[in-house]
Homo-oligomer: A and B are copies of this chain.
Amino acid sequence: MRTQAQSVVINSLRKFIHTGSTSRLCNLIKNYHAADVASLMTSLTFKEKLSLLKTLQERDKQRAAEILSELNPEDAAELLKELQVGQISDLLEIIPSDDVAPILPHFPEEMQDSILANMEKEPSEEVQELLHYEEETAGRIMSTDYYALEQNTDVSDAITAIRLEGDVESGFYLYVIDEENHLVGVVSLRQLLFASPNTRLKEIMTRNVISVTTDTDQEKVARYVAHYNLVAIPVVDAERRLAGVVTVDDVIDVINQEATEDLYKMVALDSSDRIHDKPIKSIKKRLPFLLLSLATASLAPFVVSFFKETIQQVVTLAVFMPLIAALGGIAGSQTIAIMVREIAIGEADWPIARKALVKEMLVGIGNGIVIGVVLAILSYFLLQNFFFGLILGLAIVINLFIAALLGTLIPLVLKLLRLDPALGSQNLLTMCTDAIGMLSFLGLGTLLLRHLQ
């Protein structure tokens, strides 16, 4: 929740922007961390944001660059589009390349080329290198701003080199390379602090460095960093030459992004769908899936249509249809949630999957029997018909069993097909539990019809 204090700052920001008090605006912003300014900006209109950016671009480029780094890349690009190409390049060349890489693809292709051409050679090449790698890989998110020195360098030269290099994004380790740039070791700054000045790096370095390659999936990078409790992980190419470093702050972004994706994919939402999107944009994103749902959700009515005659004779069956469907859906989505997270965090392998399948089926049957018996007893007292209770109870047992079976299998099969295990899994599940629930309930009803009338 936005606090009182934050509202006051936002109001002052607004006032200074509208009255053109540029010095007071810059002074106000100086007091806040760039990340805080970026999050305050979400409360401003596009026009206000733009005029803030323009002011900073003229008066404090470094600050403008810091804030742009903290904005969501799409938003940053939207704002920058309003500036001239020269101005855009001026700003982007002082932003770390791993923060520019996600922004640039949001510009039209021609504009991208002219922005890169207008940037200084080194930052421009660095950005182009990152964009070379596939999206969602280590190469795409790595920073090219790190300390790396040849293994024969001595400690005193290393300290001088680090001092000259200045502060870098992943400044807790010094990576050690050989003459051909192969990663051979790592030295922590703590080790440098105690080593005698003329020791060579190769004498004090740790040799078995945990690293990833440029094409490693970002989710795997995150898993490594979390698993080994790292603050940064070096990225090497196919020949083990050092190419960059992924820092833990980027890993946290990846983890948050993947957690959102898991949740979204379960309900088949596009992972870019956000609260701040325009309604028409969200409608366009969600409509194809809802139309698909219309098709999958039509399976249950198709099943029910075969039992029209039964329903006509015992309308009470229709009354309980929603209950059967709802309980199957609820139990199944629990199983899916467990499987999706287990696959995301751990590495659910086949022996574990088999165990999970057996276990969830037992849970489904167990819960089904308890719920089924409760429901059977309740409906017996309500409807004074033993067979109705029996049908309801049996249908629930069957449906909870099917929900457990499919709730386990759907994410696993999706993973086996190299699709995302969460992808629309809830929708597929509902289709099956609805249809099978109706089939078992109305099927049993038809078989025992003469006892129900």
Interfacial residues, chain A to chain B (CB-CB below 8 A):
1-2, 33, 35-36, 39, 42-43, 159, 162-163, 167, 171-172, 188-190, 192-194, 210, 225-231, 247-249, 251-253, 255-256, 259-260, 262-264, 266-269, 273-280, 282-283, 286-287, 290-291, 293-294, 297-298, 300-301, 304-305, 308, 311-312, 315-316, 318-323, 325-327, 329-331, 333-334, 336-342, 345-352, 355-356, 359, 362-363, 366-367, 370-371, 374-375, 426-427, 430-431, 434, 438
Contacts and interface: CB of A to CB of B under 8 A. Distances in A.
Most chain B CB within 10 A, of A33, A231, A291, A318, is at A318
Contact of A193 (B159, B252, B321, B375): B159
Contacts of A269: 334, 337-338
A415 to B, nearest CB: 9
Contacts of A321: 301, 304, 318, 321-322
A337 B267 contact: yes
B193 A363 contact: no
A248 B225 CA distance: 10
Contacts of A370: 283, 287, 290-291
Contacts of A266: 263, 337
A298 B321 CA distance: 10
Which 10 pairs from chain A and chain B are nearest by CB?
A: A259-B259, A2-B349, A300-B322, A229-B249, A297-B326, A279-B362, A318-B318, A283-B366, A189-B189, A267-B333
Contacts of A1: 347-350
* Number of this chain's copies in the complex: 2
A425 to B, nearest CB: 12
Contacts of A267: 330, 333-334, 336-337
Nearest to A194: B163
B327 A263 contact: no
A429 B45 CA distance: 33
A27 to B, nearest CB: 16
Contacts of A323: 294, 297-298, 300-301
A294 B371 contact: yes
Given A192-B193, A193-B159, A311-B318, A279 B430 contact: no
Contacts of A338: 264, 269, 273-275
Contact of A253 (B189, B226, B340): B226
A149 B228 CA distance: 29
Nearest to A261: B341
A288 B324 CA distance: 18
A230 B248 CA distance: 9
A264 B325 CA distance: 20
16 contacts: A42-B346, A159-B194, A189-B193, A264-B338, A266-B337, A275-B338, A275-B359, A282-B363, A286-B363, A294-B323, A294-B374, A308-B316, A311-B311, A318-B318, A321-B322, A333-B426
Most chain B CB within 10 A, of A260, A334, A356, is at A334
Contacts of A345: 256, 260
A297 B330 contact: yes
